[in-house]
Chains A and B, each alone.
Chain A
Amino acid sequence: MQAIHPLPQNDALRRALGISGAALLALLPLWLWLIWRAPADVQQGAIQKILYLHPPLAFGAYLGFACTALCGALYLWRRAEHWDRAARASAEVGVLLCTLMLLTGPIWAKGAWGRWWTWDLRLTLTLLLYLVYLSYLLLRAFNEGSERGARAGAVHSIAGLLVIPLNYFAIDLAGGRSMHPENLGRGSLDTGMGWPFLLGNLVVLACFAHLALRRFELAGLQAALARRRAGEAPWPT
């Protein structure tokens, strides 16, 4: 019979999970209601309402990858395991949001352009960004528990950051020869379109925070389980 270890309580983490989860539950129905009430676009009609989801998912992915690089840099500096766990959690949720962005984009493109995909600079760089952080997750999965893998991953995530500004300014870099619409600016959204867009960003932000915290907590439990299987105490005593 293996010894039973009491689980340590991380009050700050549980509180942050509660706040982000409550924010998500409160904002989600309000956001969906605002989308329902938002006016249809004069050119695209109802399908333009994907705008309240697709760019927020892109910003969420940027945030996830930026957090991955930041936590990776802090890991290289401090060599504390929790920064590496935070980097992996951010990368995984960032890749999830990027996947959803890459699914909603072609759906919108099919409705608006009549084709699922085009090798436009913005779309190609988005795919590149996705592959950079997907390869980060693969690298980490193949070097599970290795300090060398954690260091290599941190460097990979910091180098991968370069793709974010390239991706964001791709339309300008393409000199206007792009099927993808320009980035939103002041006056881009008509009356009634601003609030669902703002709420969309807040919902994705709350979703990112909640899922990344859950993934971070899970990574800690997985490490504890690995220690226990190795015959050590799962928690520091």
Chain B
Amino acid sequence: MAYLIAAYAVSLLGAAAYAASLIAQRRRILRELSGAPEGVSGGAGGKFQRRA
């Protein structure tokens, strides 16, 4: 039973990890192409500061 579970787990996790890496690369490239700075999803540098 352990071999059976290992075979299915390896396959499902392997395919899911590959899909996740494709999605992450797509997001990164789209962000770069749209002109937004790397890693900016909220405040600049991860901080939120009020406008002067």
- A-side residues, CB < 8 A to B, are 1-5, 7, 35, 46-47, 49-50, 53-54, 57, 96, 99-100, 103-104, 107-108, 110-111, 207, 210-211, 214-215, 217-218, 221-222, 224-225, 228, 234
Count B interface residues, CB 8 Å.
22
How many angstroms between the C-alpha atoms of A222 and B25 in the bound complex?
Answer: 9
Chain B contact residues: over half helix, strand or loop, or mixed? helix
Q: Indicate if the CB atoms of B4 and A50 lie closer than 8 Å.
A: yes
Interface string of B1-17 (1 = CB under 8 A from A): 10110111011001100
Chain A contact residues: over half helix, strand or loop, or mixed? helix
- B-side residues, CB < 8 A to A, are 1, 3-4, 6-8, 10-11, 14-15, 18-19, 22-23, 25-26, 29-30, 32-35
Q: Indicate if the CB atoms of B34 and A7 lie closer than 8 Å.
A: yes
Q: Indicate if the CB atoms of A1 and B29 lie closer than 8 Å.
A: no
7 A-B contact pairs sorted by A residue (CB < 8 Å): A46-B4, A99-B14, A103-B10, A111-B4, A211-B19, A214-B26, A221-B29
How many angstroms between the C-alpha atoms of A207 and B23 in the bound complex?
Answer: 15
